[in-house]
Structure 1
């Protein structure tokens, strides 16, 4: 790092010296050139007059008059040349030198302010390790919530609605074990933007419901944790969202916020994959589509991907292709499920409702093998064999997928 600064300073000084030398030499050469040129012209004219007299072209009396006029102009031009060299010549050169100095100092100051002096470049492994450290050491939910201003009910709330909300708050406080009351309170507090109160009500709801709580209710908690922290995905929110994906890998809300967490902790590559898969899975009216569209191009740039927004929902029901599966190999098991799970779910549902060609059945079987859902892959393989029993080519394709998934020899 020290050698870098020696080289940088040396190059800066060299460039500055070259520019300054060019300005100084150019200034002395160019400024005052008009007066010097006039002096040479008048001297040449004097010689020409003398030659004209010698050849008898002009009379001697006329020559003396012309000679006197040219001499007067020569004296004036010579004087002007001396004045320009002493005064005018110095000003542009000084200004140019000042500009060069300010430019060099300004660029150095700008780097010191906007850049990262003393911060070396990081290799890929170091970047990943640093991102993991950021993820692990990031602030807790309570810290993020405490940093935000205290919520105040909006002034534009309808009077009757405000009265009913007050009654609901009072009723829930009196009946803390009323799950339905907490569910309703969470909805209404969220409606007016009181995300912290909504989150607290949702926490209480999930405690009351215990193991009967649905993945969507847990996803609602994860989202409220993010909203109550001002858009920050805390470790507690991540825990809730990961739990959702363990039970429902296709949950769009959880996948979106896990992607946001990865973007916030220095893994734009993984966040991009998750969000791109969500765009391709759709549907167009999903609530996570607009925020993804606002951010994914910048995210792709950070991930080093040349990217064009795909058609929303173009992957709905098709399942992951070979490129999707190959990309998933570099992810953790949870991230792999987040990326592929939604596609698999859509494809499985379409085949169950509408049927489809053998290649779609084969794709589903292979994808389930990647996800480690071998029992499900085996069941679908058996079903596909029955459906395509009379089609030799289809059976070969399906059995090849079964071997790839590891469910048949």
Structure 2
């Protein structure tokens, strides 16, 4: 019912806007006449003043008064019938009024019937927010949760809801904050710890930092089978230079994965890349030869990065490998060079600081 009242008010306003100019013609027609009468009365007063100052004679004054009086009478006589209002113009004005009164509401009803939804019930904001979540406006729902958390920062459940959303949106620092808040306020589940570790890893450019490792370890303490924590810890092993241990961890994770696990494909791809890197035959060599081959690969990586280019992940892998090989002096040199090469990347300085702290290379920081 309310919608029809609103439509009636809107239609009335539209008709009034159309009829208002048509009804103002008479008042506008007399504006000039009133001004003329005022002018002629002023002329009569001016004649009397000129006569008193002897600027004109009595005969001239009488003639001027007569002429001004005639003009004043003509102007006063215009009140009986405004100029420009003829029978034909009056008919046109009435026809325009009738057309506006009939066509505007009819046109509005036709347009609404064709494109509107007269049978659809009202949907106020409160009802939309309580509807099926799959049909809610996602941005509206996220804003609602964020507003709630701003007023209730200790709501761990709310933080646990919004944290995965931030992670999917690529807002890794916000996701890390949200997961940490969820854990702090009573939602310390394995998934929350694993999510915190993933957010910290992604915010560091894909490097499994010491803080991320601690989060993954906490997740495995609560759930030793947590696939996300196991996957990222295997990546951490790879970044440490332990490709064999990383591949073995990934194989075990795949062997225990459910048949329809959505993350299994990512694990297979990572394992395939590791196995392709080992296809050169390093694993088949004797232990001493393996060490020499690994050292040669690390030196080749160092030479490539020193020449130019390289991502944060490449530099991290090189520094970790040099530490594993016992060459901390080379690792410190690589750390200094990495700082210079990656100075323009927002996440690089913090990630390199964490790496130096973890590998006891912090004294090399400038």
How does the TM-score come out when normalised to structure 1? 0.33
How does the TM-score come out when normalised to structure 2? 0.37
Larger Rg: 2
